[in-house]
Amino acid sequence: MIIDVNKKNVKKVIRSTKKYINEDKIKYNIASDVDEKYKVELKNIEKAINIKNIEKRFNFIYDTVCDYLDSQYFGKNLCGFDENGVCEYYRKVDPTHYNGCCYREDRKLCEYFDEEHSVCTDRGISCKLYSCPVLRKKKIEYKVNDFPLLKYFFTFKQKLIIKYSLLKPKAYVMYKLMETVNEKK
Ligand code: SF4
Ligand code: SF4
């Protein structure tokens, strides 16, 4: 199925994603006047629809959203970490709390955090979507439904898994998502 997209209908086409999910194969024929942002979204939606294996599709969506979120944070120190490894939020509430959200309230460092290099060794999508009050005040906040790939390809229950699996690795989230698919069979 070929769908013509132009500047006028692009938002409507994206909103209609669910209508095309069960098509055998789709192709968006995108006019040059469509904004770059929407072109990228359509390219990703097209790819996701055309991946018929559900696990592979979820995997693609997961990685694509994580890549986007990483690109928004990378190299910007939006959490305002200082030289002691204390972020802006915890400087206010508890200056002895290192490594921000990766160091839990119960004083245990998340098992996926590499302390030597100060990085997450996994891809926790819920962690990447999370914004504390400090980030929200800076208008840095992402909702699951902000991403067409999450909004249109997942059920309500699956979205809850994506949002609330904080401190959990990708393998866990993927397992929980696939569990919901297998439940339906
Ligand atoms: S999201 Fe907030 S609490 Fe978490 S590391 Fe960033 S500033 Fe700190
Ligand atoms: S999974 Fe989340 S809490 Fe754990 S290291 Fe990665 S970003 Fe931090």
Q: What is the pLDDT of residues 88-141, one digit of tens each?
A: 999 999 898 888 999 876 668 888 988 888 888 999 999 999 999 999 999 999
Question: How does residue 87 score in pLDDT terms, banded at 50, 70 and 90?
Answer: very high
Residue 107: the pLDDT is 65
Residue 90: the pLDDT is 93
Query: What is the secondary structure of 127-180 as a DSSP string?
Result: HHH---HHHHHTT----GGGSHHHHHHS-HHHHHHHHH-TT--HHHHHHHHHHH
Whole-structure pTM value: 0.94
pLDDT in tens, 153-176: 999 999 999 999 999 999 999 999
Best residue for ligand 2 mutational test, from 122, 123, 168, 174 (most atoms within 8 Å of Cβ): 122
Q: What separation in Å is there between the alpha carbon of 87 and the centre of ligand 1?
A: 6
Q: Is the CB of 148 under 6 A from ligand 1?
A: no
Mean pLDDT of 76-87: 93
Span of 1-10, 15-24, 100-109 with lowest mean pLDDT = 100-109
Q: Do 7 and 31 meet the contact criterion of CB atoms below 8 Å apart?
A: yes
Domain extents for the chain?
Answer: 1-50, 51-184
- Position in ligand 2 atom list of the atom nearest CA 99: 8
Closest to 134 in 3D by CA, of 178, 92, 73: 92
Closest to 156 in 3D by CA, of 139, 173, 177, 137: 177
The token duo for 113 is 């955090």
Question: How does residue 184 score in pLDDT terms, banded at 50, 70 and 90?
Answer: confident
Residue 179: the pLDDT is 96
Closest to 122 in 3D by CA, of 159, 167, 65: 167
Residue nearest to atom 2 of ligand 1 (CA): 132
pLDDT in tens, 56-68: 999 999 999 999 9
- What are the φ/ψ torsions at residue 11 (nearest 5 degrees)? -65, -40
Mean pLDDT of 69-78: 93
Closest to 128 in 3D by CA, of 177, 163, 100, 171: 163
Question: How does residue 45 score in pLDDT terms, banded at 50, 70 and 90?
Answer: very high
Residue nearest to atom 1 of ligand 2 (CA): 167
Query: What percent of the chain is predicted at pLDDT more than 70?
Result: 98
